[in-house]
Amino acid sequence: MEQEASVACEHAKETKREVQHQELLQRLSTIDRFGQELQDTMFFGKLPFQNLPTIQNQSFYGRDLELQRLVQHLHPGNIPKKLLIASLYGLGGGGKTQIALEYAYKFVSSYDAILWVTAESSLKLADSFKSIGQQIGIVDDSNQNTDQVRELLKDWLFKTSKRGPSPRVCLSIKLIYVSEPPNRVVRWLIIYDNIQDCKILEQYWPRATKGAIIMTSRNPGVARHFANVPARIEVLPFSLHDGESFLLSLLQDNENRNSSEEDRETASKISQAVGNLPLALSLVGSYISSTGMSSRRFLDTNRHFERNFLFNEATRLWDTQSYQNSINTTWIINTSPPGSKPVLDNDTLSLIQMLVFLDGDGVPLSLFSAKERDDMSVLLKSINHDPKNSHY
């Protein structure tokens, strides 16, 4: 009986140990899952991610050489061994932003994260970083300090570009945390669009050693400051052939037929008049399409459109080596052919005035509520009637 009691006691102890073992395994499994979730939140965020500012441009034309050079320098799809930098610089309206956007859409599946940063001022840089941090999930409403938000995103870029050992999940009474970066590199691309000042950008430059960056700027000094010689890509106006073809592609639906010799000749004259500049051609093409007229009639009724319709006289000389000679007046679209109705109604013109007065890159939707709209109308009227404010 004593022997049987001893065996029964050992069996009971073994059963208890087995139960404890299973409970421990279950707890470890829960900790592992929690640690993985925390790891994803801390280091990866919400991936894949992209905040490209507009849909892909269906009218994008040409620029094969520039896109090929971006591919050569950035190696999309691969985990970079160093920080890869490419710079697009040149005359305003040359299509630098559109080239960067086209590259991003072509290779959106090659990156885990594509971050589009508006970089023309310190305020826009700060707003872009905060918005990206919130969307990825590494910044919340408690992070209001601009410097803090900037450093959090820079820290995220550093950690996600650094390969480290597998994470160790540490357990304490009240805290479970991941002690080291994950054994994974996030393939990210940053696009700094329309850089004006090198010193301002330096504060928002990632500390990461692996990643890809595209910069766009009118200032060639920006390209020299950040990118090596082979990665400085000057974006010139179209060739005459490409300018003509681009304009014809915009007008095909409007003219509803194959381009004739006369169409090509007219498109060539228009393209030459604006220096084969993509933005100018896009604006002219859009204007012609909106009026429903033919390109020949447009040219006949707007003999000096390059001065009166689009450009300031000071910009007639196209010097691609100096970004100061860029377009001074981008559009004056409230003109119309003699004897025709105005292209835009008063409400549309008021809306454009509001956007110009504020900032086309980021106008709060709340301004378009009934009360705010009335207040803005009063403000616009005061600006229009006050000679001191005529420069607006």
Q: pLDDT digits over 208-218, tens only?
A: 778 999 999 99
Confidence of residue 252 (pLDDT cuts 50, 70, 90): confident
- The strand pair at 211-217 and 188-193 is best described as parallel
Averaged confidence pLDDT in the chain: 75
pLDDT band at 179 (very low <50, low <70, confident <90, very high): very low
Res. 8: pLDDT tops 70: no
Do 187 and 209 touch, CB atoms closer than 8 A?
Answer: no
Q: How confident is the model at residue 362 (pLDDT cuts 50, 70, 90)?
A: low
CA neighbor of 169 nearest in space, from 37, 297, 35: 35
Q: What is the pLDDT of residues 155-171, one digit of tens each?
A: 898 888 775 443 433 33
pLDDT in tens, 118-150: 998 898 999 999 999 989 888 877 766 888 889
Q: Provide the token pair at 101.
A: 């956007």
Give the mean pLDDT of 48-55. Answer: 90
Predicted confidence band of residue 375 (pLDDT cuts 50, 70, 90): low
SS3 content of the chain, % helix, strand, coil (to 5): 55, 10, 35
Measured CA distances, 314 to 169, 217, 299, 306, 318 (Å): 65, 21, 22, 12, 10
Question: If pLDDT is split at 50, 70 and 90, which confidence band does 324 have?
Answer: very low
In this prediction the pTM is: 0.70
Q: Which residues lie below 8 Å from residue 153, measured CB to CB, with a gap of 6+?
A: 129, 132, 133, 138, 139
3-class DSSP assignment, residue 250: helix
- What is the band of 390 on the pLDDT scale with cuts at 50, 70, 90? very low
Q: In the structure encoding, which two tokens stand for residue 178, read together? A: 């991941």
For residues 88 and 100, what is the distance between their CA atoms, to the nearest angstrom? 8
Using the predicted structure, report yes or no on whether residue 97 has a pLDDT greater than 50.
Answer: yes
Strands in 49-50's sheet, in edge-to-edge order, are 49-50, 113-118, 188-193, 211-217, 83-89, 232-234
